[in-house]
């Protein structure tokens, strides 16, 4: 069994981006301190049936670096005390370029944080303004340079596709900017208009590129990243050899992951559980000794294995999938071959995976496989 991954959610941000549906909010120093105490207490009181060996720790948010180096180090220590962390563990912290101070980054690098992920999103000011981001391209460049000087050798940068005002030219500008940062890992996510966000309220008036254009942007982005030596290992993720996000791969492979803090999700020994999007409730639970975990049923059914596994370049082994879910292996293979002819899938060593054009129609591909069960 693969080692587990540990996730810690830090729900604090400088402000709120117009498209954001993550559980995050501005907070005072006092609230951040109380939250840190609560997360450490939740980790210390977590009592699984057996010792958990883990090899990744991921601080996501929100903007985890806002918590400051001292508090992040305390939480990291709590994790290292409670879990059997492997010596070469990947320890990631997410950062917002607008909140990445050199001193904080240097202290984190010194304390064993060895991967940092920046939300850059775009290099075009009009796009950043519409998204409600607080940084500009120069701030993003300075933040990445500060992380390098601080000692981070594994840096990731995110961009977004399908954002208001985006054109093929502006996309190329953002891609060229990201490549000029010379980081080890790149991610590109499609903008989703999530209910309850300011973007949802004014969706009709947003100058969004149409679906066909976004498909073209996606294929152009894949071509340019791959040409620059970043291998696509997942639908939205690209890395220099050996520098894929080990933590995020655990979600797609359905390995064990345990999440702490408010609004964190876990999948452990086939069971899903989570903590609510409710900071007050979370603090009240932990401070009074109650577990904040809420059971969420079983995970890892055929649909999930396909939907997650096909996102990965390594794909899904059709013989193992057929044996596990009682499917007809020949029918699966026939279907995969048909998609291969259309240029939507690859078949290699018995594993099926989607090509970039296949990723654009992934929902219908997954549905057609599920109909064979
Ligand atoms: S920085 Fe990230 S988590 Fe915070 S509001 Fe913006 S998109 Fe959401």
pLDDT band at 258 (very low <50, low <70, confident <90, very high): very high
Decide: 11 in ligand 1 pocket, CB within 6 A. no
Residue 101, pLDDT above cutoff 90: no
CB–CB of 340/346 below 8 Å?
Answer: yes
Is the pTM of the predicted complex or chain greater than 0.75? yes
- Ligand 1 centroid – CA 324 distance (Å): 39
Distances (CA, A) of 221 to 121, 160, 316: 13, 11, 24
Residue 137 CA to residue 171 CA, distance in Å, equals: 14
For domain 302-370, is the CATH number 3.40.720?
Answer: no
Q: Are 297 and 272 in contact (CB under 8 A)?
A: yes
65 ligand 1 Cβ < 6 A? no
What pLDDT sits at residue 247? Answer: 98
Mapped onto helix, strand or coil, the DSSP state of residue 86 is strand
- State yes or no: pLDDT of 62 exceeds 90: yes
List the domain boundaries for the chain: 4-252, 302-370
Query: Can you point out the beta strands (E) in 122-219?
Result: 155-161, 185-190
Distance between CA 140 and CA 275 in Å, rounded? Answer: 32
Residues 23-41: tens digit of each pLDDT: 999 999 999 999 999 999 9
Residue 160 has pLDDT above 90, yes or no: yes
Pocket test for ligand 1, best of 19, 63, 129 (most atoms within 8 A of CB): 63
The CATH code belonging to domain 4-252 is 3.20.20.70
Strands 53-61 and 84-95: parallel
Give per-residue pLDDT as tens, 124-152.
Answer: 999 999 999 999 999 999 999 999 999 99
Residue 288 CB neighbours (<10 A) = 7
62 close to ligand 1 (CB < 6 Angstrom): yes
Angle 253-338-233 (CA atoms, 0-180°, nearest 5)? 30
């Amino acid at each position: 069994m693969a080692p587990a991954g540990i996730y810690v959610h830090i729900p604090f941000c400088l402000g709120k981006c117009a498209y954001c549906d993550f559980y995050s909010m501005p907070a005072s120093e006092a609230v951040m301190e109380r939250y840190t105490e609560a997360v450490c207490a939740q980790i210390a009181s977590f009592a699984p049936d057996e010792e958990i060996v883990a090899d990744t720790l991921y601080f996501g948010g929100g903007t985890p670096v806002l918590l400051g180096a001292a508090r992040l180090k305390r939480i990291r220590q709590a994790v290292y005390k409670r879990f059997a962390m492997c010596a070469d563990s990947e320890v990631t912290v997410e950062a917002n370029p607008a909140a990445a101070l050199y001193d904080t980054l240097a202290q984190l690098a010194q304390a064993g944080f060895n991967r940092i992920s920046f939300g850059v999103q775009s290099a075009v000011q009009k796009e950043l303004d519409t998204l409600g981001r607080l940084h500009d391209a120069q701030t993003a460049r300075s933040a990445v340079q500060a992380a390098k000087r601080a000692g981070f050798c594994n840096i990731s940068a995110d961009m977004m596709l399908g954002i208001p005002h985006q054109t093929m030219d502006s996309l190329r500008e953002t891609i060229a900017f990201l490549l000029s940062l010379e980081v080890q890992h790149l991610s590109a996510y499609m903008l989703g208009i999530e209910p309850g966000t300011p973007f949802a309220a004014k969706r009709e008036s947003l100058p969004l590129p149409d679906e066909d254009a976004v498909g073209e942007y996606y294929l152009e982005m894949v071509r340019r990243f791959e040409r620059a030596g970043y291998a696509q290992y997942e639908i939205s993720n690209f890395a220099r050899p050996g520098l894929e996000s080990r933590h995020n791969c655990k979600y797609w492979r359905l390995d064990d992951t345990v999440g702490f803090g408010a609004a964190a999700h876990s999948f452990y020994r086939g069971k899903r559980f989570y903590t609510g999007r409710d900071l007050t409730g979370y603090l009240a639970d932990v401070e009074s000794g109650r577990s904040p975990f809420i059971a969420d049923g079983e995970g890892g059914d055929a649909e999930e294995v396909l939907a997650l596994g096909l996102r990965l370049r390594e794909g899904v082994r059709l013989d193992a999938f057929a044996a596990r879910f009682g499917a007809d292996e020949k029918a699966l293979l026939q279907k995969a071959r048909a998609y291969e002819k259309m240029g939507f899938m690859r078949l290699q060593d018995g594993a099926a995976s989607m090509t970039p054009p296949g990723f654009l129609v992934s929902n219908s591909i997954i549905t057609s496989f599920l109909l064979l069960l």
